[in-house]
Structure 1
């Protein structure tokens, strides 16, 4: 258990928890929408069973992603995907379609599981990258994050709205993890080892890139809104 005494373990664990919380706001909204038409007595069941089913499948996908990220060039592709996710997180354009509420418990649970899986690609890639192949860290990180997401989703959404810095920090973290992931790709392993003194450069540059591009697109979208209203 010497792993628990290592600062790197707690740093990676914090990354996994923050990534899960920041990227699960839209999932919390889906859960609320899918169960809103149920009787009050069934809403808690839909949230519990739907969340548990989605979480089990998400864990399986995350383990699969950890394996895939050990293959050459896939970490580079994953890093590019994380950069895109981080920029869109700041841009504020999650593709959330109008979701129908269900009066049937089974239908609501099914909707929650399917929607959560479709929307969880960012969580899976981000968590797998932060875990760096450490299965124990992966299990602990997901285990701690899950109750926070299920029981604290309303609070988390309110905090994100009140303190946008949480979103910015999460986006920057995704950029940082993307830089770490790219630098550790087996395809450039030899070069990375001979330039180990540069290991912090890609994470810093990627974090700054996400913030710069995300904020630029955010301002650009805000500037277009008055024009759309006039039109």
Structure 2
């Protein structure tokens, strides 16, 4: 590999990382909200497990991302899945875990919530990164893994802020709901145009 190839690859990798950082902010909010109801000892394991599983799925999706573009209705399905995640988050915010009427969130529930939200919200991220990586799988995988690691750090900060300032959780829910509605809107138009 020549030095020109390495330079091109490094520039491409930098583009991939910037795309990931720009598109992963809403994911960090979801992860932070998912672990906010957990006991302090379970927050970090939930973030690591959820983001670890999400990383594997993202890299797998990235490997087939260009084929995903051809699947009509995928964006709509992801938006509907994210809308369900929003409903679950709304219920948690409305009935905090410290009340007696609801049992505390488990580590498994938090990891599942992170995974479902990340998969549904990551389609735009994965497709943008796959387009920028220009068929270089190592750039795609490196960029996605790095972005997920950065998202995990941001999610930990978001979770701590949510514990202190409950109103931020409602703002976060609004952001996630906006993303879900946007995905449903664009996915619905995509399905209607294909009919």
TM bin (shorter chain): 0.5 to 0.7
Q: CA deviation at 1:5?
A: 5.2
- Is 1:15 paired with 2:20? no
Q: Deviations over 1:113-152 (max 9, x none)?
A: 0111011111111011001111122122223323222124
Please tell me the root mean square deviation across aligned C-alpha atoms, in Å: 3.0
Q: In 2, distance between residues paired with 1:4 and 1:150?
A: 33
Match of 2:129 among 127, 131, 148: 127
Aligned residues: 136
Question: Which stretch shifts more, 2-11 or 101-110?
Answer: 2-11
Q: Deviations over 1:161-186 (max 9, x none)?
A: xxxxxxxxxxxxxxxxxxxxxxxxxx
- Is 1:33 paired with 2:33? yes
Q: Judging changes above 3 Å, is the alpha-carbon distance between structure 1 residues 155 and 8 closer, same or farther for their aligned structure 2 residues?
A: farther
Q: In 1, distance between residues paired with 2:21 and 2:156?
A: 11
- In structure 1, the residue corresponding to 2:135 is in which secondary structure? coil
Q: Deviations over 1:189-230 (max 9, x none)?
A: xxxxxxxxxxxxxxxxxxxxxxxxxxxxxxxxxxxxxxxxxx
- Is 1:138 paired with 2:127? no
Higher Cα Rg: structure 1 or 2? 1
Match of 2:86 among 70, 73, 97: 97
- TM-score normalised according to structure 2 size: 0.60
- Partner residue, 1:56: 56
RCO higher in 1 or 2 (8 Å CA, sep ≥ 6)? 2
Q: Judging changes above 3 Å, is the alpha-carbon distance between structure 1 residues 134 and 39 closer, same or farther for their aligned structure 2 residues?
A: same
Q: In 2, distance between residues paired with 1:26 and 1:152?
A: 10
Q: Judging changes above 3 Å, is the alpha-carbon distance between structure 1 residues 110 and 68 closer, same or farther for their aligned structure 2 residues?
A: closer
> Is contact 1:4–1:10 with CA below 8 Å preserved after alignment?
no
- Partner residue, 2:100: none
Q: CA deviation at 1:155?
A: 7.1
Q: In 1, distance between residues paired with 2:13 and 2:155?
A: 20
Q: Judging changes above 3 Å, is the alpha-carbon distance between structure 1 residues 115 and 68 closer, same or farther for their aligned structure 2 residues?
A: closer
- TM-score normalised according to structure 1 size: 0.51
Q: Deviations over 1:2-45 (max 9, x none)?
A: 36753321221111101111111111111111111111111111
- Is 1:118 paired with 2:120? yes
- Partner residue, 2:97: none
Q: In 2, distance between residues paired with 1:41 and 1:154?
A: 12
Unaligned runs of 5+ residues in structure 2 are 76-81, 93-103, 159-195
